[in-house]
Structure 1
Amino acid sequence: MIQPPYSLTSAIVDLVARIGEALGRLAVQQALASSLRLRRLNRIRTIQGSLAIEGNTLSEAQITALLDGKPVMAPPRDIQEARNAIQAYEQFEQWRPDSERDLLTAHRLLMTGLLDATGQYRSGGVGVMNGAQVVHMAPPASRVPLLMGNLLSWLGSTDAHPLIASSVFHYEFEFIHPFEDGNGRMGRLWQTLILSRWNPQLAHIPVESLVHIHQAEYYQALNESTRLGECTPFIEFMLRMILDALQANAPQVNPQVTPQVERLLAVLRGEMSRDELQTLLGLRDRKSFRERYLQPALAQGLIEYSLPSKPNSRLQRYRLSALGQSLR
Structure 2
Amino acid sequence: MKYQPPYTITSKIIHLIAQISENIGRLTVLEEIQESLKLRKANRIRTIQGSLAIEGNTLSTEQITAILNGKPVIAPPKEVQEVRNAIKAYETFQKWQPSQEFDLLQAHQILMTGLIDEVGQYRHGGVGVMSGDRVVHMAPPANQINRLMVDLLNWLNDSEEHPLIKSSVFHYEFEFIHPFADGNGRMGRLWQTLILSRWNPIFANIPVESLIYQNQKAYYEALQTSTDRANSAPFIEFILQMILDAILNSTENDQATAQASVQVTDQASVQVTDQVKSLISIMEAGEYTLAELMQLLGLSHRATFQQNYLNPAIEAGFIERTIPDKPKSPKQKYKLR
Q: Same fold (TM over 0.5)?
A: yes
List aligned pairs for 1:187-198, cutoff 5 A. Answer: 187-198=188-199
Report what 1:32 is aligned to. 35
Aligned with residue 254 of structure 1, among 231, 253, 256: 256
Q: Offset of 1:135 from its aligned partner? A: 0.4
* 1:33-76: CA deviation from partner (whole Å, max 9, x where unpaired): 33x22x10000000000000000000000000001000001110
SS of match in other structure, 2:160:
coil
Displacement, 1:252? 1.4
Q: Work out the CA distance in 2 between the residues paired with 1:135 and 1:68.
A: 40
SS at match of 2:75: coil
- Per the alignment, residue 6 of structure 1 pairs with none
Q: Deviations over 1:207-247 (max 9, x none)?
A: 00000000000000000000000100000000000000000
Q: What residue is the counterpart of 1:14 in the other structure?
A: none
Cα deviation 1:82-104 (Å, max 9, x = unaligned) = 00000000000000000000000
CA distance in 2 between counterparts of 1:97 and 1:206 reads 19
Task: Return the letter of the residue paired with 1:219.
Answer: Y
State the partner residue of 2:165: 164
Give the direction of change, closer, same or farther, for the CA distance of 1:29–1:134 in structure 2 (3 Å limit). Answer: closer
What is the CA–CA distance in structure 2 between the aligned matches of 1:238 and 1:86, rounded to whole Å? Answer: 23
Give, in angstroms, the shift of residue 326 of structure 1: 6.2
**Corresponding residue number in structure 2 for 1:122:** 123
How many residues are paired up? 231
Local SS of the residue matching 1:221: helix
Kindly indicate whether residue 87 of structure 2 is the aligned counterpart of residue 86 of structure 1: yes
3-state SS of paired residue (1:254): helix
**Other structure's SS at 1:227 match:** helix
Partner letter of residue 247 of structure 1? L
**TM-superposed deviation, 1:31:** 3.9
1:178-216 per-residue CA deviation (whole Å, 9 max, x = no partner) reads: 000000000000000000000000110000000000000
Deviation (angstroms), 1:254? 1.9
Residue 65 and residue 159 in structure 1: after superposition, are their counterparts in 2 closer, same or farther (change >3 A)? same
Is the alpha carbon distance of 1:173 and 1:31 closer, same or farther for their aligned partners in structure 2, counting shifts above 3 Å? closer
Secondary structure at 1:129's aligned position in 2? Answer: strand
* Counterpart secondary structure, 1:128: strand
Q: Which has the higher contact order (CA 8 A, sep 6+)?
A: 2
Q: Which runs of 5+ in 2 are unaligned?
A: 1-30, 259-334
User: Which residue in the other structure is 2:245 paired with?
Assistant: 244
Cα distance in structure 2, aligned partners of 1:54 and 1:191: 17
Name the TM-score, length of structure 1 as normaliser: 0.68
Q: What's 2:135 paired with?
A: 134
Distance 1:132 1:43, change over 3 A: same
1:255 shift after superposition: 5.3
> Structure 2 counterpart of 1:100, which letter?
E
The CA distance in 2 between the partners of 1:92 and 1:130, in whole Å, is 30
Task: Give, in angstroms, the shift of residue 29 of structure 1.
Answer: 10
Q: Residues 158-307 of structure 1 correspond to what in structure 2 (within 5 A)?
A: 158-250=159-251, 252=254, 254=256
CA distance in 1, matches of 2:155, 2:33: 42
Cα distance in structure 1, aligned partners of 2:145 and 2:138: 13
Amino acid at match of 2:254: Q
Residue in 2 aligned with 1:56? 57
Cα separation, partners in 2 of 1:160 and 1:253, compared to 1, 3 Å: same
* Shift of residue 253, structure 1, vs aligned partner: 5.7
> Given residue 36 of structure 2, which amino acid in structure 1 is its aligned partner?
A
Q: CA deviation at 1:156?
A: 0.3
Paired AA for residue 99 in structure 2 = D
Distance in 2 between the 1:80 and 1:74 partners?
A: 10
Q: Could you tell me how far apart the structure 2 residues matched to 1:119 and 1:247 are? A: 35
Deviations 1:6-48 (A, max 9, x none): xxxxxxxxxxxxxxxxxxxxxx9984233x22x1000000000
Partner of 1:288: none
* Amino acid paired to 1:245: A
The alpha-carbon distance between structure 1 residues 40 and 131, as it changes in their structure 2 partners (threshold 3 A), is same
- 1:146-202 Cα shifts (integer Å, max 9, x gaps): 000000000000000000000000000000000000000000000000000000001
Distance 1:155 1:56 in 2: 30
In structure 2, distance between residues paired with 1:170 and 1:80: 24
Three-state SS of the structure 1 residue aligned to 2:66 is helix
Aligned to 1:308: none
Q: Which amino acid aligns with 1:184?
A: G
For the residue of structure 2 that corresponds to 1:71, the secondary structure is coil
Name the residue aligned to 2:108. Answer: 107
